[in-house]
Structure 1
Amino acid sequence: MTAHTAPAPPPVVVAARHAAPAWHAWRAWVVPVGSLLAFALWLWSLRGVELEETGGWGLLTALPGSWYAAFALTVLVHLWALLSRRPVSHLLVAPQVLLVAILFATTALVYDVPRYPWTYKHIGVVEYLLANGTVDRSIDIYHNFPGFFYLAAGLHRLTGIPVQDVAQWAQPTLALVAAAAVYWVLGGLTTSRRIRYGGVLLYTLGDWIGQNYFAPQALAFPVALFVLGGLLRSVPPGIEGMRFARLAERFPTAADDDLPRPSRFWRSRWGAVVMVVGFVYVVVSHPLSPMLLLAQSTVVCVLLRPARPWLPVVFLAIEEAWLLQAWPFLHSTYDLFDFGFHNVAPPTVPISDPLEDYETALWGARLLMVMVALLTVWGVLAAVAWRGRAGRMVVPLGMVAVPLALVLGQPYGNEGIFRAYLFALPWLAFVIALQLFDGKPAWTPERRLLATLAGAVMALLALPANFASELSYSVAASDVAAGEWFEEETPEGSVLLPFAFSFPVWSTADYPHHLPRAREGLEGIAAQPGFPEAATDETRLLAFTRDLCAQQPGTGPVYVAVGPSADDHVRLFGVAKLYVYRAYVHALETDPAFTPVFAEGQTRLFRCRA
């Protein structure tokens, strides 16, 4: 009997997984290694900063080449990650944090005291709270919106960090908070990390107005974005989330897979409570931000179907309740509304013979805003014509329209255009990022080139926009010491008459004793009528100063302040010849009408009326 062997089974063919070539492995390391290298370059560059070289291009002429290399590498790494075919991971946080550090922490590291002369009036409010424990609504507007100042005082109590040191590091810290808030609010429009991180990059490069220093709006703004992000997360997906069917038909939305899903938490009552708490903080911290937040949340509820469409009514009641508390001071001091197109014009500073290249450098900020506007127009047209995404433009453009409309009636004058730009910027960044960085369509060479050029040009313009005016932004420690001496050592009712408006004042708990009622800034000698005619020689300028001292209101003593802020003001704006100003300072020291009372470094205080 012959034994039969069973036939062998056919071989199983397994499709071989083609491992990525070894030379492709480097792509996974571009972001971490590139960020680490840029970080090392940036730290190294800080040793080579020469502040005495600050000139018409601001701090840019004082920075070494390694600083620019670190900045360029950071932007390139960020753009590479956004434009590569690799999935975007949260490693992109590294170049984003580094970009914020390079733009906003460089000055914190190279300056001895906080940047911006107007920072110090906020330090003074915090010091007042620490000394007195509560606010006095009759003093100034900050005491009527004290939320931010109570938080800063609490931070000091908790950590022991001096308030001035908190202010020194407020700008990079709050810039990071704002970037995180932009990422959060864009999550209410898309789940795509690529678009969200791209929007944050565009926002950071476009945010040049310097609102993120030690000030109430610096924290009120990201909290407002947090509230709007929660409200958007309570909206049902797709057409169901649109309030008007006709609007959905007129502006169709493509079936994109990055559309966000509603959040169970933000649709719940607890989510509503969190949003109300966030709105309360904004209301008690800043006069304008809650109005913008109220209007933008109303736009969301009109266009979409959030879970709690009545929230704007609650917000309005909270705003009215708080304004009633502040009404006596506001009504007697400010115009709450000021309608007119004059609000759109940017603020101006008298310039006679400015430092070489300064006027050219100022174009950086203007061109940056124009660049953002042009990219936004292109993004809208592309969404409508090329991709069938008109529906995705409705909400962000509605949010942009609110601050642009409210600026025509706000009481901040021509500073309002910058506030409108700030509140519109996150939504403008989304419109642009949706077209530049969305990875679902084919990555054509044209799209990559356009995205790279747009990012590179914005980065280039961001440098003069942020640093061109550094001679008026930087503050000397000796000027700060003089301001503190004036507030703590002179009798109540004394008047400070600085040569330049950029002199830091009101940084101590005693600042209310010398505060001109209903004013938030000092007009320096150089801003007074008749100054240009008097600034032709030191003798006439000295006589002009004597007359100003005699004309000051009240009967208290008057003190003239000169120092690095005045020297930089003269250099930057050319309001007088530098040799005339320095001869004038020497004349102050020898004229019997001016008694020297304080001297530190280049700063001098003179009493000119007993």
Structure 2
Amino acid sequence: MKGGRDGPRDGARDAARRTAPRDAAARPDGLREGSRAAVREPPGPRRTGAPGPGPSPAGPGRAAALRFWAVRAALPVSLVLWLLSLRSVPLDDMRDLGLLQVLPPLFWIAAALLTLGFCLALGDRRTRAGWLTGYVLALVALLHATPTLLYPTLRYSWAWKHLAVVDAMIRHGGEVPAADKFDVYNEWPGFFQLNALFLKASGLDSAVGYAAWTPAFANALLLAPLLLLYRSVTRDRRLVWGAVWIFYVCSWVGQDYFAPQTFAFLLFMTVMALLFRQLPSSALPRPDPRRRDGWPPGLLAGAVLLVAAIAVSHPLTPLLLISALVLLSLPRRNRRVTLPLLAAAVVLTALWDATVARDYLTANVSDFVRSVLQPDRNVTSGLTALGDAAPGQVLLSWVDRALSAAVVLMAAAGFALRRWTRRTGLPLLAVAPLPLLALNAYGGEMLFRAYLFALPAVAFLAAALLLPSEARERVPRPLVLSPVLLALLGGMVFGYYGKEAVNRYDPGEVAAARYVTDHAPPGSVIVTLTSDVPGLDMGYERHRRIQLAYQDPEDTRRLVRDPLTGVEPFLSGATGERPAYLVLSRAQDMNVRLTGTLPDDLPQRLRTALDDAPGFTRVFTDEDAVVYRYVPPAPAGGGP
């Protein structure tokens, strides 16, 4: 008998391999290997998180009991602490770091307790899915409902712009004439028309009430497609819920407000979840095991309807969807599922762009061609120049970049070390936005959109790295996992809360904008320093907006040298019947300070100059906003 590597120990190992049951659930992806591709196991009992007959994975006796009750206590206690922390937050003290510098310690204690409780729940097989759902929804509430509960008005200037578009489409019964820079919304009106239909059916006067809750509501809705997507590639519930948590604590780009992008991304994720459910690599059991791989009757029609809704609602998301479907079609085994949906996406997008959106695309074709020829500039366009920004904003920018790099590097390591993930299709989904990132800058936003659309897949690959399969590790180590998740959460709040000094508006600012839109005659010019005036775009088809912070360099230099001389050229054409209006406000001052687009002292110098200038009259004054009406003074000498 040979010794060493051919001895009895190897014989025992071979016998164990021959007699071990082939349980698909023991593999993270729920599959077993065939000769060339993974072969689906027959449907069998699935783990639901309920306690099973064997020994407790948490250990015997008191330790298991402590874990059990800690999981059930941490969730309600953290929610109570979070709500208590919001009772008295000094919002007026926000500066370079936004909400980060005014939220009390109790808020951060609640966030840390919630994270630790989730890690404990993730490692206890007795914890049912309902508790894990509760933890994730509590995280969504803590992150995304906090500004809504704290602020007296809707946050973020672009959300107010989109309210104005809904209002205009209701007033005009559809397409808005003379929309100027808002004309793009006439070409992709799906989101706005859906809200207009809802307002008419419900009898509400405006969407401002529910628009404030869009971030929390949209993120809560995302949970369903995320769960379906992840359960389609693994039966390991720790990986599923860990990936969900990582997605939420790394989604810092803020594309979840009242906007077409939010609506289109939710539809995109739903389409991807339905698609992955049908792929041959799906870990979910088939309703009919005898059916060949492909779409069941009716479901493909539903997916195509979602694609159509995307095509009429947003110009970029259909292209990202097509890119994802093209890459997912590269493996031959996927094509029976992906090609019908890819054909539908291409046809619907082409039809819409060639008909409804044709005028807009034709007018901007030269910009598109120029962008395609500058791939290096497209990739870096989203990286803010930090030279003139406030110190806090420089820190925020570096934290955002570090968080994004960290989760991408963890995903790359997960792809390299967990080889089974390469058969799931998620690596292809993770890189799908890259071709568009090189083709177009999308106004400097493409880098952020690419990160957002890659994040669902990236989060899962990162979770695969952090959470080895249950076959290799009986329970996760909460004291090891929780610091990683807390660090990711810390990076998330930097990016998500760091600009709230600009995004938050006071009632006086809303009242100033309402005064202007109520009193300015059609054709009036409305001048502001930046776009940060909530509600000033109401009736945008009747007025012309000018922002002083984004003019030609020579105009900017003239404004800085002499604010009164610099602002007068933009008021030309004003008359007694059609005066011009100039609005200055707290949020604009803060934007100038944080971004460095104009000198910090310019807003106050401009106020002082206007107070003493002929033709300018203060018509609205509040501690947070002031409105000047400009009528050219009569010529000297009393001529006609």
Quickly name the TM-score band, shorter chain normalised: 0.7 to 0.9
Residue 562 of structure 1 pairs with residue 591 of structure 2: no
Residue 129 of structure 1 pairs with residue 169 of structure 2: yes
The answer (yes or no) to whether the contact 1:383–1:435 under 8 Å persists in 2 is: yes
Which of 538, 563, 573 is residue 541 of structure 1 equivalent to? Answer: 563
The answer (yes or no) to whether the contact 2:585–2:624 under 8 Å persists in 1 is: yes
- 2 CA distance for matches of 1:123 and 1:311? 33
Residue 149 of structure 1 pairs with residue 192 of structure 2: yes
- 2 CA distance for matches of 1:549 and 1:183? 54
Counterpart AA for 1:315:
A
Residue in structure 1 matched with residue 31 of structure 2 by the alignment? none
Bigger mean CA deviation after superposition, 572-581 or 85-94: 572-581
Q: How far off its partner does 1:536 sit?
A: 6.3
Residue in structure 2 matched with residue 523 of structure 1 by the alignment? 547
Which of 354, 368, 373 is residue 408 of structure 2 equivalent to? Answer: 373
Counterpart AA for 1:127:
D
- 2 CA distance for matches of 1:421 and 1:593? 49
Residue 47 of structure 1 pairs with residue 87 of structure 2: yes
Residue 343 of structure 1 pairs with residue 378 of structure 2: yes
Counterpart AA for 2:438:
L
Q: Secondary structure at the match of 1:98?
A: helix
Which of 334, 347, 363 is residue 332 of structure 1 equivalent to? Answer: 363
Q: Secondary structure at the match of 2:278?
A: coil
TM-score by length of 1: 0.84
Q: Secondary structure at the match of 1:560?
A: strand
Q: How does 1:406-421 map to 2 (within 5 A)?
A: 406-410=436-440, 412-421=442-451
Bigger mean CA deviation after superposition, 196-205 or 126-135: 126-135
- 2 CA distance for matches of 1:120 and 1:423? 24
Equivalences, count: 560
Q: How far off its partner does 1:263 sit?
A: 5.0
Residue 305 of structure 1 pairs with residue 329 of structure 2: no
Provide closer, same or farther for how the CA distance between residues 573 and 293 of structure 1 changes in structure 2, counting only shifts above 3 A. closer
The answer (yes or no) to whether the contact 1:364–1:465 under 8 Å persists in 2 is: yes
Q: Secondary structure at the match of 1:585?
A: helix
Counterpart AA for 1:224:
F
Q: How does 1:31-430 map to 2 (within 5 A)?
A: 31-84=71-124, 86=126, 89-136=129-176, 139=179, 140-161=183-204, 162-237=206-281, 259-262=283-286, 267-303=295-331, 304-305=333-334, 307-308=336-337, 309-324=339-354, 325-333=356-364, 335-336=367-368, 338-339=371-372, 340-347=375-382, 354-384=389-419, 389=420, 391-392=422-423, 395-410=425-440, 412-430=442-460
Q: Secondary structure at the match of 1:310?
A: helix
Q: How far off its partner does 1:137 sit?
A: 7.4
Counterpart AA for 1:91:
W
Deviations along 1:432-451, whole A, 9 cap, x unmatched? 11232244144389976653
Could you tell me which runs of 5 or more consecutive residues in structure 2 were left unpaired when the two chains were aligned. Answer: 1-52, 633-640
Could you tell me which runs of 5 or more consecutive residues in structure 1 were left unpaired when the two chains were aligned. Answer: 1-15, 239-258, 517-521
Q: How far off its partner does 1:119 sit?
A: 1.2
Q: How far off its partner does 1:234 sit?
A: 1.5
- 2 CA distance for matches of 1:367 and 1:153? 40
Counterpart AA for 1:495:
V
Residue in structure 1 matched with residue 635 of structure 2 by the alignment? none
The answer (yes or no) to whether the contact 2:98–2:500 under 8 Å persists in 1 is: yes
Deviations along 1:170-191, whole A, 9 cap, x unmatched? 1111121223322222222223
Q: How far off its partner does 1:556 sit?
A: 6.2
Residue in structure 2 matched with residue 598 of structure 1 by the alignment? 620
- 1 CA distance for matches of 2:540 and 2:564? 28
The answer (yes or no) to whether the contact 1:35–1:74 under 8 Å persists in 2 is: yes
- 2 CA distance for matches of 1:609 and 1:435? 66
Deviations along 1:200-221, whole A, 9 cap, x unmatched? 1111111111100000010111
Q: Secondary structure at the match of 2:167?
A: helix
The answer (yes or no) to whether the contact 1:96–1:201 under 8 Å persists in 2 is: yes
The answer (yes or no) to whether the contact 2:415–2:427 under 8 Å persists in 1 is: no
Q: Secondary structure at the match of 2:457?
A: helix
The answer (yes or no) to whether the contact 1:362–1:468 under 8 Å persists in 2 is: no
Q: How far off its partner does 1:262 sit?
A: 3.9
Residue in structure 2 matched with residue 475 of structure 1 by the alignment? 505
Provide closer, same or farther for how the CA distance between residues 568 and 451 of structure 1 changes in structure 2, counting only shifts above 3 A. same
Residue 502 of structure 1 pairs with residue 557 of structure 2: no
- 1 CA distance for matches of 2:557 and 2:178? 39
Provide closer, same or farther for how the CA distance between residues 528 and 78 of structure 1 changes in structure 2, counting only shifts above 3 A. farther
Residue 511 of structure 1 pairs with residue 535 of structure 2: no
The answer (yes or no) to whether the contact 2:123–2:477 under 8 Å persists in 1 is: no
- 2 CA distance for matches of 1:463 and 1:196? 23
Provide closer, same or farther for how the CA distance between residues 597 and 526 of structure 1 changes in structure 2, counting only shifts above 3 A. farther
Q: How far off its partner does 1:482 sit?
A: 2.7
The answer (yes or no) to whether the contact 1:183–1:199 under 8 Å persists in 2 is: no
Q: Secondary structure at the match of 1:302?
A: coil
Residue in structure 2 matched with residue 487 of structure 1 by the alignment? 517
Provide closer, same or farther for how the CA distance between residues 45 and 109 of structure 1 changes in structure 2, counting only shifts above 3 A. same
Counterpart AA for 2:207:
V
Residue 461 of structure 1 pairs with residue 491 of structure 2: yes
Residue in structure 2 matched with residue 248 of structure 1 by the alignment? none
- 2 CA distance for matches of 1:548 and 1:104? 39
TM-score by length of 2: 0.80
Counterpart AA for 2:166:
V
Provide closer, same or farther for how the CA distance between residues 513 and 533 of structure 1 changes in structure 2, counting only shifts above 3 A. closer
- 2 CA distance for matches of 1:277 and 1:174? 20
The answer (yes or no) to whether the contact 1:350–1:573 under 8 Å persists in 2 is: no
Residue 434 of structure 1 pairs with residue 471 of structure 2: no
Counterpart AA for 1:37:
V
Provide closer, same or farther for how the CA distance between residues 38 and 346 of structure 1 changes in structure 2, counting only shifts above 3 A. farther
Provide closer, same or farther for how the CA distance between residues 105 and 490 of structure 1 changes in structure 2, counting only shifts above 3 A. same
RMSD: 3.0
- 2 CA distance for matches of 1:198 and 1:415? 28
Counterpart AA for 1:122:
H
Q: How far off its partner does 1:26 sit?
A: 3.7
Counterpart AA for 2:548:
G
Deviations along 1:313-353, whole A, 9 cap, x unmatched? 12211111111221123312464452222111244667676
Q: How far off its partner does 1:412 sit?
A: 0.6
Counterpart AA for 2:186:
H
- 2 CA distance for matches of 1:350 and 1:566? 20
Residue in structure 1 matched with residue 593 of structure 2 by the alignment? 571
